[in-house]
């Protein structure tokens, strides 16, 4: 079996609050191939590792800076300086309207002492851990909402590419995969900004699964939602559509998101989910909140 890569999605986010340094250190100890960073800019142009352009579903911003919300009632990363962001307490993801924790079985909301951090700080953690352990774990950053950043007068992509270059990530050999949902922006990254990194086009909408030939003109892989690979069950057995085969024909790797042991939907166990999607659907790797479980599963296949 060709080696499949394990991407620690937002760190070991099944066990510790997503995108905290603690979650990244725990993920590192589990030996994934890559650790993921979602990136959003602060008011003073520092790339921050956080999943959304909003702060109020993973921090105590509504308590600490009550009067800094926008008209839509949300608190935006881009309205705060890095110094201000560092004063916030990060917690397990919750619904800001109800206060209810999103994944009830995970690390308890409001407990612990977690902070936001910059992309550079996380790269340094991973690079220095690579040095102290002799490992070579890669990074898998995502440019978040480029249109929103542009509308706000911000150059997220250029700043992220500069940070990557400063830390030695410039080519496909540098153990970094750059991802983005926005196809125009990822194409611009390759064709206008002349980026030579391994690029993965994330796929949100069904109609985008028709665009693979175009994606292959600038990307090296695609990141579909795992449900976009499944067709239907026939006599109790999952059938797959042509997504993976079509991508492979064009030389594109396939890294679906997101494998969660506590959100199984159409599967009866995490093992079944991994067997069907990783092995039978023949993808090249996957994003998971539970890197240890995926690594154990893949090791058991050898």
Residues with a catalytic annotation lie at 9, 51
Integer Cα distance of 133 and 29 in angstroms = 9
Closest approach of Cβ 123 to ligand G3P, in Å?
Answer: 17
Residue closest to ligand G3P when measured from CB atoms:
257
Strand segments, DSSP code E, in the chain are: 5-8, 34-41, 47-49, 138-143, 177-180, 198-202, 221-223, 230-234, 237-240, 253-254, 285-288
Helix axes 119-133, 21-29, angle to 10 degrees: 30
Of 19-58, which residues contact Ca ion (CB under 5 A)? 38
DSSP string, 9-43: TTTTTTTS-TT-HHHHHHHHHT--SEEEEEEEE-T
Residue 79 contact partner, candidates Ca ion, ligand G3P, none, CB within 5 to 8 A by sort of partner: none
Integer Cα distance of 53 and 97 in angstroms = 17
Integer Cα distance of 151 and 46 in angstroms = 17
Residue 226 near residue 257, CB atoms below 8 Å: yes
Closest approach of Cβ 288 to ligand G3P, in Å?
Answer: 10
Closest approach of Cβ 142 to Ca ion, in Å?
Answer: 4
Of 236-275, which residues contact ligand G3P (CB under 6 A)? 257-258
Residue 5 near residue 99, CB atoms below 8 Å: no
> What tokens appear for 3 in the block?
């080696």
Of 8-27, which residues contact ligand G3P (CB under 6 A)? 9
Closest approach of Cβ 144 to Ca ion, in Å?
Answer: 8
- Residue placing its CB nearer to ligand G3P in the complex, 117 or 260: 260
Count of residues interacting with Ca ion (CB under 5 A): 2
Of 128-147, which residues contact Ca ion (CB under 5 A)? 142
Integer Cα distance of 251 and 249 in angstroms = 5
- φ, ψ of residue 184 in degrees (nearest 5): -60, -40
Q: What is the CA radius of gyration of the chain?
A: 19
Closest approach of Cβ 141 to Ca ion, in Å?
Answer: 9
Of 136-175, which residues contact ligand G3P (CB under 6 A)? 142
Residue 33 contact partner, candidates Ca ion, ligand G3P, none, CB within 5 to 8 A by sort of partner: none
Integer Cα distance of 286 and 229 in angstroms = 13
Of 186-225, which residues contact ligand G3P (CB under 6 A)? 202, 223
Residue closest to Ca ion when measured from CB atoms:
142
Closest approach of Cβ 66 to ligand G3P, in Å?
Answer: 28
- Residue placing its CB nearer to ligand G3P in the complex, 65 or 283: 283
- Residue placing its CB nearer to ligand G3P in the complex, 10 or 117: 10
Residue 149 contact partner, candidates Ca ion, ligand G3P, none, CB within 5 to 8 A by sort of partner: none
Integer Cα distance of 75 and 204 in angstroms = 25
Residue 202 contact partner, candidates Ca ion, ligand G3P, none, CB within 5 to 8 A by sort of partner: ligand G3P
> What tokens appear for 162 in the block?
């500069």
- Residue placing its CB nearer to Ca ion in the complex, 65 or 221: 221
Query: Which residues in this chain contact ligand G3P in the complex, by CB under 6 A?
Result: 9, 38, 51, 142, 179, 202, 223, 257-258, 287
Query: Which residues in this chain contact Ca ion in the complex, by CB under 5 A?
Result: 38, 142
């Amino acid at each position: 079996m060709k080696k499949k890569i394990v991407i620690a999605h937002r760190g070991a986010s099944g066990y510790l609050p997503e995108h905290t340094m603690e979650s990244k250190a725990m993920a590192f100890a589990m030996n994934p191939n890559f650790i993921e960073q979602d990136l959003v800019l602060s008011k003073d142009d520092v790339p921050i590792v956080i999943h959304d352009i909003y702060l109020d579903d993973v921090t105590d911003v509504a308590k600490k800076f009550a009067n800094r919300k926008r008209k839509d009632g949300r608190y935006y990363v881009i309205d705060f300086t890095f110094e201000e962001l560092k004063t916030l307490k990060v917690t397990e993801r919750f619904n800001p309207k109800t206060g209810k924790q999103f994944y009830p079985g995970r690390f308890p909301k409001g407990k612990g002492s977690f902070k936001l951090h910059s992309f550079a700080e996380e790269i340094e953690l991973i690079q220095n851990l690579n040095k102290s352990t002799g490992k070579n774990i890669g990074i898998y950053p995502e440019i978040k909402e480029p249109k929103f950043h542009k509308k706000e007068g911000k150059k997220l992509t250029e700043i992220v590419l500069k940070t990557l270059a400063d830390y030695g990530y410039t080519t496909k050999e540098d153990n970094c995969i750059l991802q983005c949902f926005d196809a125009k922006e990822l194409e611009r990254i390759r064709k206008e900004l002349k980026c030579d990194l391994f690029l993965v086009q994330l796929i949100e909408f069904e109609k985008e699964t028709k665009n693979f030939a175009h994606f292959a003109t600038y990307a090296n892989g695609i990141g579909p939602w795992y449900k976009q690979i499944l067709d239907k069950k026939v006599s109790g057995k999952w059938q797959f559509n042509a997504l993976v085969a079509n991508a492979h024909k064009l030389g594109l790797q396939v890294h679906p998101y997101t494998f969660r042991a506590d959100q199984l939907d159409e599967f009866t166990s995490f093992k079944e989910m991994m067997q069907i999607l990783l092995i039978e659907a023949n993808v090249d790797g996957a994003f998971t909140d539970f890197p240890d479980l995926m690594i154990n599963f893949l090791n058991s296949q050898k």
